[in-house]
């Protein structure tokens, strides 16, 4: 069967379609392979929330949990083995995509523990451990773009680890992330690493920006403020893409690309619409531009397959209009610096909560199996 026409058109426009979900059931049922064939899916992202939901639902993990319980594995070891096994299998499913795209796509992400988000050394140690444990060239280790995470990102890249940088909300922090990427590649080159084997994406969150800014605009309540709702997320992403073009056309990048380095593509994350008043495909249609990734929850993927539209490049050359949106939001009294600080802190907190839920779920299953 040929891929869905709408998703195929999105892919043809240069947008890599990644699924923001993974479970043992998707793997064993053949569903993940079906999405590759029928929906042009070319990668997968995971996070603690996804694994917490996967382990809590269904029976797909029962046999492994019983085996782990029988040999006395603790909760931490059990989580590691369960998540590593799923990601290894997903990497194998995507190996053909990885090979056919020269390592650009066919990527599967696995996140370091969010409990380490503000500990540089511990984050780096876990990133290196996950890279070794999964032992697949198409893995991306997810590291949050906290201030402490930036150094860990550079150091992991310097060791040849491919990285998905997550929880990026502001263009300012995104520039820090790109600088960390270039720094990591330069150190990798000095270490004798082959740069062509290192990949990275920068996960720039979209819908959460609208959720936070819309809340503040509604509190202000003027007609001018209310008219700006639902515009900041896309505008922020368009400004991020302009920053991407700026950095990856510079002299510093030219020296690295001469050594075979690949650009760190922007990845549009959190693209499921939170406000039901907005189009359920707006964070896909309005962010179409070449050399990007859009990682979608299945609900958004299905919505786009059903009625999504590709209206051409909606991002390149739009930075002036996007800046006008942010200037207007700031003029209404929204403290944008505070917005991005709140979003980063909330992002880490949400993943920490999901990690705790994952620990509790695995503990309960281990206790039951014993």
Q: Say how far apart CA 205 and CA 370 lie, in whole Å.
A: 41
Written as one string, the DSSP assignment of 169-194 is --HHHHHHHHHHHHHHHHHHHHTT--
Q: Helix, strand, or coil here: 278?
A: coil
- Residue whose structure tokens are 């990644």: 18
Spatial CB neighbours of 229, under 8 Å, sequence gap ≥ 6: 210, 213, 214, 217, 218
Query: Which of 158, 198, 199 lies closest to 180 in space, CA to CA?
Result: 158
Spatial CB neighbours of 335, under 8 Å, sequence gap ≥ 6: none
Residue 338's CB is within 10 A of a number of other CB atoms, namely 11
Cα distance between the two ends of the chain: 45
Tokens, residue 347: 């992002």
Q: Say how far apart CA 77 and CA 342 lie, in whole Å.
A: 32
Query: Which of 247, 240, 231 lies closest to 172 in space, CA to CA?
Result: 240
Written as one string, the DSSP assignment of 26-55 is HHHHTHHHHHHHHH-EEEE---HHHHHHHH
- Catalytic site residues? 142
Containing 291, the helix (H) or strand (E) segment is none
Containing 205, the helix (H) or strand (E) segment is strand 200-205
Tokens, residue 15: 């947008």
């Amino acid at each position: 069967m040929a891929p869905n026409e709408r998703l195929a058109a999105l892919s043809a426009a240069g947008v890599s379609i990644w699924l923001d979900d993974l479970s043992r059931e998707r793997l064993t049922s053949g569903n993940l392979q079906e999405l590759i064939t029928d929906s042009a899916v070319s990668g997968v992202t995971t996070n603690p929330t996804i694994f917490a939901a996967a382990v809590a639902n269904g029976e797909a993990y029962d046999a492994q949990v019983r085996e782990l319980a029988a040999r006395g594995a603790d909760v931490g070891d059990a989580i590691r083995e369960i998540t590593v096994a799923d990601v290894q299998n997903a990497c194998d499913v995507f190996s053909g995509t990885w090979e056919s795209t020269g390592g650009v796509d066919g990527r599967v992400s696995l996140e370091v523990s969010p409990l380490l988000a503000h500990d540089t050394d511990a984050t780096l140690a876990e990133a290196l451990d996950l890279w070794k444990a999964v032992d697949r060239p198409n893995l991306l280790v997810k590291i949050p773009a906290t201030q402490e995470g930036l150094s860990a990102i550079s150091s992991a890249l310097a060791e040849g680890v491919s990285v998905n940088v997550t929880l990026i909300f502001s263009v300012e922090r995104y520039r820090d992330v790109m600088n960390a990427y270039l720094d990591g590649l330069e150190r990798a080159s000095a270490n004798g690493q082959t740069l062509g084997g290192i990949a990275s994406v920068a996960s720039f969150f979209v819908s959460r920006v609208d959720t936070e800014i819309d809340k503040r605009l509604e509190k202000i309540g003027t007609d001018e403020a209310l008219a700006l709702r639902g515009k900041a997320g896309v505008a922020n992403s368009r400004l991020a893409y302009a920053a991407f073009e700026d950095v990856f056309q510079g002299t510093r990048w030219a020296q690295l690309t001469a050594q075979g380095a690949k650009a760190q593509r922007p990845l549009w994350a959190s693209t499921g619409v939170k406000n039901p008043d907005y189009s359920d495909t707006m964070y896909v249609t309005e962010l179409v531009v070449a050399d990007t990734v859009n990682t979608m929850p299945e609900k958004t993927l299905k919505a786009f397959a059903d009625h999504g539209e590709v209206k051409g490049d909606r991002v390149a050359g739009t930075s002036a209009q996007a800046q006008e949106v942010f200037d207007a939001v700031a003029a209404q009294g929204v403290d944008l610096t505070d917005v991005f600080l709140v979003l980063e802190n909330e992002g880490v907190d949400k993943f920490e909560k999901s990690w705790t839920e994952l620990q509790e779920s695995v503990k309960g299953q281990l206790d039951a199996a014993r």
